[in-house]
């Protein structure tokens, strides 16, 4: 399951900041100030052309020439913040850390920089550092209920983290509760390595990031503030999974890790822009090793006999983690999987790869589907209904 609420709060919630041109100064202004103005405006032109490094250089020089110019200083701060937010969204945590730190050097009480650094440390599982920066940010905006909630969850995680041990594996940073027997570590590594290889091949994307995997006791997993009571796994920038029960063991854990790892890849490919129905449909496809389950009879009956009762695609754009009705959740997952099955069988998995890549470049979903499938989203849904009624 993908927790879009948690992820969205640290990227989309920040927003991107505007840089300002400075009007021409009169002849009585000192030469240094005039040169600073020219460099500021040249920096914005360079930025518009995509030359970020040159823009940073020019704004830095402008700030050095006229350190008391509020607009130039704010432009430089905003440039670092925007760069940091962009890197954070892409999962480039070292770059994001560097940019937010530079913004803080100029503006030590900047809320966005402090909040961003907190999120960087949180995503790297440096929880105590995250607490420091989020605490400073909350002190600036004590009315920020979302940040206050995140700090509350962080404190809960810090307490749990003291009971974790680390398991080393390529591509993954694995933390398990100390109650998990170490004899299972070899099997755990095998499951994760197989997941990385097969799922990455299917998705045609091999992440270079280290994915954090947190394995909890069943009780501790369901105590987490971010986990719905019905979920068996969660991706919120980290993969969180409860310990498999004794009957299924690590082999039973494999579908869950494939599901959540698929969310991790999709998040990175699309920079968080994939609609939940496509995200969950693909995760279910990969969960079963590139196969689909049969459509539940009740959904099939609804489509064929009373399609007005089927959850519309537009409603499937709402994160499933926010839903409470278990029957609605089951039908949402089933329709998502069925839609993805239809696209793969009708157009091919490579078309979905192309759609994901377009989403990662900022293309809206409607436009991406139009480009790759040559129809509107409403047309896709209508074609899916026809296919289901024909028994396909």
**65 and 128 share one domain:** yes
Q: Which of 161, 185, 201 is the last residue of a domain?
A: 161
Same domain, 132 and 280: no
Q: What is residue 316's predicted lDDT score, i.e. its pLDDT?
A: 85
pLDDT at 14: 41
Judgement on whether residues 19 and 154 belong to the same structural domain of the protein: yes
Give the residue from 268, 285, 309 where a domain finishes. Answer: 268
Strand ranges for the chain from DSSP E: 164-169, 172-177, 211-216, 234-235, 239-242
Q: Kindly report the pTM of this predicted structure.
A: 0.82
CATH number, residue 244: 3.40.30.160
Q: Are 280 and 320 in contact (CB under 8 A)?
A: yes
Q: Give yes or no: residues 62 and 208 share one domain.
A: no
pLDDT at site 142:
95
- Which residues of the chain carry a pLDDT beneath 70? 1-30, 179-183, 225-226, 245-251, 295-299, 301-302, 304-309, 392
Residues 66 and 144 in one domain: yes
CB burial string 167-195: b at 16+ within 10 A, e below: bebebbbbbbbeebeeebbeebbebbeeb
The tokens describing 251, both together, are 């082999």
Which residues are paired to 240 by β-bridges?
214, 234
Number of domains observed in the structure of the chain:
3
So what's the pLDDT on residue 11? 37
pLDDT score recorded for residue 3: 59
* CA pair distance 6, 54, nearest whole angstrom: 34
**Tokens representing residue 143 in the block:** 């009315």
Residue 2 is predicted with a pLDDT of 58
Task: Pull the structure tokens for residue 282.
Answer: 């693909």
Same domain flag for 150 and 8: yes
Range of the domain at 349: 276-389
CB 18: neighbour CB atoms within 10 A?
Answer: 9
Q: Are 199 and 191 in contact (CB under 8 A)?
A: no
Let me know whether 232 and 299 are in one domain.
Answer: no
Query: 153 and 214: one domain?
Result: no
Same domain as 246, residue 308:
no
Buried b / exposed e over 113-130, threshold 16 CB at 10 Å, is: bbbbbbbbbbbbbebeeb
User: CATH number for the domain including 115?
Assistant: 1.25.40.10
Are 347 and 259 contained in the same domain?
no
Same domain membership, residue 137 and residue 17: yes
Last residue of a domain, one of 244, 268, 292: 268
pLDDT, residue 354, reads 97
């Amino acid at each position: 399951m993908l927790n879009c609420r948690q992820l969205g709060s640290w990227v989309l919630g920040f927003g991107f900041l505007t840089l300002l041109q400075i009007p021409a100064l009169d002849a009585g202004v000192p030469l240094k100030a005039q040169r600073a103005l020219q460099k500021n405006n040249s920096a914005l032109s360079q930025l518009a052309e995509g030359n970020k490094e040159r823009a940073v250089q020019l704004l830095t020089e402008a700030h050095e020439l006229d350190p008391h110019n509020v607009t130039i200083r704010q432009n430089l701060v905003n440039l670092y913040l925007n760069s940091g937010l962009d890197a954070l969204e892409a999962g480039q945590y070292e770059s994001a850390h560097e940019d937010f730190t530079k913004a803080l050097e100029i503006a030590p009480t900047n809320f966005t920089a402090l909040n961003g650094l907190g999120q960087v440390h949180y995503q790297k599982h440096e929880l105590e550092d995250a607490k420091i920066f989020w605490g400073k940010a909350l002190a600036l905006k004590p009315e920020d209920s979302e940040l206050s909630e995140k700090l509350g969850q962080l404190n809960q995680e810090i307490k749990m983290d003291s009971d974790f041990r680390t398991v080393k594996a390529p591509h993954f940073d694995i933390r398990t509760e100390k109650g998990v027997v170490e004899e299972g570590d070899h099997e755990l590594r095998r499951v994760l390595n197989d997941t990385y290889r097969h799922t990455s091949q299917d998705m045609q994307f091999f992440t270079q990031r280290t994915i954090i995997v947190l394995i909890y006791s069943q009780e501790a997993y369901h105590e987490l503030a971010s986990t719905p009571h019905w979920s068996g796994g969660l991706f919120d920038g980290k993969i969180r999974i409860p310990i498999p029960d004794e009957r299924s063991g690590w082999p039973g854990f494999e579908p869950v890790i494939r599901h959540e790892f698929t969310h991790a890849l999709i998040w990175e490919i699309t920079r968080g822009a994939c609609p939940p129905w496509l995200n969950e449909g693909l995760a279910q496809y990969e969960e079963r090793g590139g196969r689909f389950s049969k459509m539940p009879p009740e959904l099939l009956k609804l489509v064929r006999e009373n399609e007005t009762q089927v959850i519309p695609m537009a409603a499937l754009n709402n994160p499933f983690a926010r839903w409470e009705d278990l029957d609605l959740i089951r039908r949402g997952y089933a329709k998502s999987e069925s839609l993805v099955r239809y696209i793969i069988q009708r157009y091919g998995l490579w078309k979905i790869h192309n759609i994901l890549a377009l989403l990662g470049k900022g293309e809206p979903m409607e436009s991406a589907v139009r480009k790759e499938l040559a129809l509107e989203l409403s047309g896709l849904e209508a074609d899916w209904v026809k296919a289901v009624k024909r028994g396909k």
